[in-house]
Amino acid sequence: GAGVSQTPSNKVTEKGKYVELRCDPISGHTALYWYRQSLGQGPEFLIYFQGTGAADDSGLPNDRFFAVRPEGSVSTLKIQRTERGDSAVYLCASSANREGLFFGPGTRLTVL
């Protein structure tokens, strides 16, 4: 079956702009996670959804970051007033249980 998909694969934007990153999880997976990965680092937790609600958003770095999952499937990570330090690969993962998280290919965000 299809894995986790993320769009766009690459996004280049200018400082101060607003961006939206989309994640389509594996069908039937109730848990969805967003991570951020900088070059040479491991993924850093941002937010975790169980169904439609954010079960844990403690990893969001500040209030410029927001994520939604209105119907318990597709999720959108939204970043307002982007800064150069937001440049990273944004990874989405989904899980049916805690046995394993399955990651998408990521969206590479570059803020100029």
Partner 1 sequence: EDQVTQSPEALRLQEGESSSLNCSYTVSGLRGLFWYRQDPGKGPEFLFTLYSAGEEKEKERLKATLTKKESFLHITAPKPEDSATYLCAPCDGANNLFFGTGTRLTVIP
Which CB sits closer to partner 1, 12 or 55? 55
The DSSP string of 23-39 is EEPPTT--EEEEEEE-T
> Contacting partner 1 (CB under 8 A), which of 79, 104, 109, 111?
104
Check binding of 102 to partner 1 (CB under 8 A).
yes
The neighbour count for residue 84, using CB atoms within 10 Å, is: 10
- The Cα 15–Cα 64 span in angstroms is 13
Are 107 and 20 within 8 A, CB to CB? no
> Contacting partner 1 (CB under 8 A), which of 24, 43, 49, 88?
43
Handedness of CA 50, 100, 89, 104 (dihedral sign): negative
Which CB sits closer to partner 1, 27 or 58? 58
Check binding of 26 to partner 1 (CB under 8 A).
no
Contacting positions for partner 1 (CB under 8 A): 4, 33, 35, 40-45, 48, 55-56, 58-59, 91, 93, 98-106
